Amino acid sequence: MPPTRKPDQTAPAPVSPTGVEMPLPDGAPDPRAQAGDVLTSPQGVRIPDTDHSLKAGPRGPVLLEDFHLREKISHFDHERIPERVVHARGAGAHGTFTSYGTAGNITRAAVLAEKGLETPVFVRFSTVLGSRGSADTVRDTRGFAVKFYTKEGNWDLVGNNIPVFFIQDAIKFPDIIHAGKPSPTREIPQAQSAHDGFWDFVSLHTEATHHTLWNMSDRGIPRSYRTMEGFGVHTFRLVNADRETTLVKFHWKPVLGVHSLTWEEAQIAAGVDPDFHRRDLADAIEAGAFPEWELGVQIFPDTEEETYEGIDLLDPTKIVPEEMVPVQPIGKLVLNANPQNYFAETEQIAFCTGHVVPGIEFTNDPLLQGRNFSYLDTQLTRLGGPNWPQIPINRPHVAVNDNHRDGFMQQGVPVGEAPYLPNSIDDGSPQPADFEHGGYVNVPRQVEGEVARGVPSSFDDHFSQPAMFYASLSDVEKTHTIEAYTFELGKVYEQEIKERTLGILAKIDSDLCEKVAAGLGLPVPDGKPVEHLPPSPALAQVKPDSFPIAGRQVGVVAGPDADLAGIAALRSALEDEGAQVKVIAPHGGTLGKGKNQQVVERTVVTARSIEFDAVVVADGAPKDSDIKSVVLLQEAYRQLKPFAAWGDGAEVLTSAGIDVDGPGVLTGKTADSLAKDLVAALGRHRVWEREELVTASAVPPAS
């Protein structure tokens, strides 16, 4: 029997601490629940529009006088104590950012402009919806937040692994998160969007379509934080030394390439290793396989219209394809140290989009303007008061003299008699800094327009960019996206929500809509796809390119009689490329003696396919059909991972039902003969030519 969707809202009368019913005074509102059918403020003022911030003109800045925006977001910011409302589940690392100096013509920010300048950073990766105790590998957006401890103060680039957002205006952020969070009645499902609330909102709020499609693609389940792209999402304004302005979008490009989990891997990992991503990050850094990204920018002229080739640069649900405006690299990020204490560093670090340095300014993107308020406001509850910047992980690496005093969690001992300006008692200290002395002086810009809640007409196109994104995917990625929609909507209870979503998919791609409808057992709705820009190859993850394999994990199945010298040679060849080898054997301890002795890192009981990027079977490995070994091999084969075997190790694959002549299976007489080809196969991430084979039929059972 399906769960009740509309539970009885009638509650028992209030009771006193002694259990006696307390009747309400005549005419008094019931304090136990919200009442009435009209949307109001917390003070009971009726609200006409909760979708658009109050702005100076449809493209103008958001006004501080918008009490509804401030009340709505402020209440939302303080809904969870003490973990973050969103991005509660995270992992972090220390590192450095080195500027290439190539951005000196567009910004005076030293962190980007000075060639060779190294800036300390702390990066926090996270999921959005789940609690601190949720799994790493859920289908969700990932946060990619970087705190630069620059010589001009702290700069926070608070981005995601998806370049667009669900909403165009920050006033709707509480709505999308409320819709995505677990049901308020049952507190389920945790860290998932596969439920009625989420799909009800996004199918009614079609500006979410682009972001939702990215989430349903393989981008929603990254293989590792190390193979995850990052985006600043918004358009920012950069200012150079001559006070000339440029608009930019920020991109983080992983040196290891962009790579995702399969849905099967994500589900297995959530059960057997919910810490999969944070473990992967920490292990790679500990092993010296330091994760690296290049920071790049797309550069646009700062015109009055703030558009580019018809694409509104203030709309956070839109991208500019890289084929139209290439990403220009301006620096490199390297993560080289793990936190010493999770709570003190990863948990207490606080990011704010409003933390910028001279040379970096904001645009009128209504989502960015709301985030500038929200991120600062949320720290007041989460970190205990206004002095959270004094927590060590949040402290700037430059002198601070802000005239702030007292407050909860004050950790400093301020000195001086005059915490105000101007003053003569303290000799006028601290002195304001002008533009020539590194002060944060905004570039003047004209602002005008009628004060009203609204949105520019250029924000109204909700479908052409999602259609372009889907058209840009490889066939493999399209298949995975169809499967994701089918799974997610299959968990939705209300038929109307499924039908409404199919109507949206019909505007994106006919094949996508038809196949999802078939999976749900529903008719295909009327409608045809909208016109869109040409496909953007940069958006597809599946490419013929080969990437470095630093930090990749290779499982080698062995046993007491295996060719240990061959394993040693293979280990040496892979470790020279930065990969790691883990020997899998029937028991723990060691195999053999002498210089070729091998430590057993995993047993057949503790090993699972998700941990490895490739699987190798050594000559002389046990040939008996241990069911756990067979499951390991068959899972890895379904997950399109490269295989290798030398000598009679090929017989182990055959006994597991794996065709040694099939795609992505390397065989040879010695381990040495396989190393080079295995490195190349690892660099391509997966054996994509096997996808059709494993989709058509499961791996045959072991003979």
Instruction: Indicate which residues carry an active-site annotation.
Output: 87, 160
Element (H, E) at 254: strand 245-254
Q: Can you tell me whether residue 192 is helix, strand or coil?
A: coil
- Distance, in Å, from the CA atom of 141 to the CA atom of 128, rounded to the nearest integer, reads 6
Six-digit token string for 639 = 């997950």
- Distance, in Å, from the CA atom of 415 to the CA atom of 296, rounded to the nearest integer, reads 42
Strand pairing report for 292-301 and 328-337: antiparallel
Sign of the four-CA dihedral 303, 304, 308, 309 = negative
Residue among 297, 295, 296, 292 at smallest CA distance from 255: 292
- Report how far apart, in Å, the C-alpha atoms of 369 and of each of 577, 609, 614 are: 45, 44, 45
- Distance, in Å, from the CA atom of 701 to the CA atom of 655, rounded to the nearest integer, reads 9
Q: Can you tell me whether residue 15 is helix, strand or coil?
A: strand
The type of residue at 124 is R
* Maximum separation of any 2 CA atoms in the chain, in Å: 91
Backbone dihedral region for residue 594 (phi beyond 0: left; psi -120 to 50: alpha; all else: beta): left
- CB 132 within 8 Å of CB 89: yes
CB atoms within 10 A of CB 673: 14
Sign of the four-CA dihedral 649, 653, 655, 659 = negative
- Distance, in Å, from the CA atom of 241 to the CA atom of 131, rounded to the nearest integer, reads 44
DSSP state of 46: B
Helices (H), 161-315: 173-180, 196-204, 209-216, 263-272, 276-286
- Distance, in Å, from the CA atom of 203 to the CA atom of 593, rounded to the nearest integer, reads 63
List all residues 6 or more positions away from 518 whose beta carbon is below 8 Å from its beta carbon.
Answer: none
CB atoms within 10 A of CB 701: 9
- CB 527 within 8 Å of CB 536: no
- CB 472 within 8 Å of CB 539: yes
Residue 636 CA neighbour count, 13 Å, CB half: 32
- Distance, in Å, from the CA atom of 244 to the CA atom of 361, rounded to the nearest integer, reads 12
Six-digit token string for 100 = 């290439």
- CB 503 within 8 Å of CB 201: no
Six-digit token string for 231 = 């985006």
Residue among 85, 88, 65, 67 at smallest CA distance from 76: 85
**Beta-bridge partner residues of 222:** 260
CA angle 408, 411, 413 (to 5 degrees): 115
Q: To which residue do tokens 């401030």 refer?
A: 70
Residue among 641, 442, 469 at smallest CA distance from 540: 469
Q: How far from chain centre, in Å, is Cα 28?
A: 46
- Distance, in Å, from the CA atom of 528 to the CA atom of 405, rounded to the nearest integer, reads 61
